[in-house]
Amino acid sequence: MIISPNDPGRLGAAGPPRLSLKRMAPGGRVGNMRSHGTRFECLRMRPHDHIGWVFSGAAAFDDLAIPFLAEGAARGELLMYVASAPSAAATTALRGRCGARAVQVASITDVYGVSGIVDAVAQRAVFASVLAEALAAGFTGIRVAADNTSLVTDARRLAAWMRWEYAADRFMAENPVTGLCAFDGLRVDVNRIRHLATLHPLSSAADPEPQYRMFADDGNLCLEGDIDSFAVGELPLALNVLPPRTGVLIDLSAATLMSRAPLAGLRRLADKGVTVTIRGASAAIETLTANGLPASERLVLQPLP
State pLDDT tens for residues 253-279.
999 998 888 999 999 999 999 999 999
With 0-12 / 13-18 / 19 or more C-beta atoms within 10 angstroms meaning exposed / middle / buried, residue 203 is: buried
Over range 223-233, report the average pLDDT: 96
pLDDT in tens, 173-220: 999 999 999 999 999 999 999 999 999 999 998 888 899 999 999 999
pLDDT in tens, 5-22: 333 432 222 333 343 333
Question: How many whole angstroms separate alpha carbon 136 and alpha carbon 86?
Answer: 27
Q: What is the pLDDT of residue 43?
A: 87
Angle between the N-to-C axes of helices 120-136 and 155-174, in degrees from 0 to 180, rounded to the nearest 10: 40
CATH topology of domain 44-210: Rossmann fold (3.40.50)
Over range 103-131, report the average pLDDT: 95
Q: Phi and psi of 153, rounded to 5°?
A: -85, -10
Q: How many CB atoms lie within 10 A of CB 24?
A: 19
Question: How many whole angstroms separate alpha carbon 258 and alpha carbon 248?
Answer: 17
CATH 3.30.750.24, the chain: domain bounds: 1-22+211-305
Per-residue pLDDT band at 32 (split at 50, 70, 90): low
Q: What is the pLDDT of residue 23?
A: 34
CATH 3.40.50.300, the chain: domain bounds: 44-210
Q: Give one DSSP letter per residue of 170-222, joined into a string.
A: HHHHHTTEEEEEEEETTTS-HHHHHHHHTT-SEEETTSPPPSEEEEEETTEEE
pLDDT in tens, 55-64: 998 889 999 9
Task: Answer for the pair 170, 120: CB distance below 8 angstroms, yes or no.
Answer: no
Rounded percentage of the chain residues whose pLDDT exceeds 90:
73
Q: Has residue 26 got a pLDDT over 80?
A: no
Over range 163-181, report the average pLDDT: 97
Q: Has residue 121 got a pLDDT over 70?
A: yes
| Mean pLDDT of the chain, nearest integer | 88
Q: What is the pLDDT of residue 162?
A: 96
Question: How many whole angstroms separate alpha carbon 37 and alpha carbon 31?
Answer: 14
Residue 3 vs residues 206, 211, 280, 283: alpha-carbon distances, Å: 30, 19, 11, 8
Decide which of 3.30.2090.10, 3.30.70.3280, 3.30.750.24, 3.30.830.10 is the CATH code for 1-22+211-305. 3.30.750.24
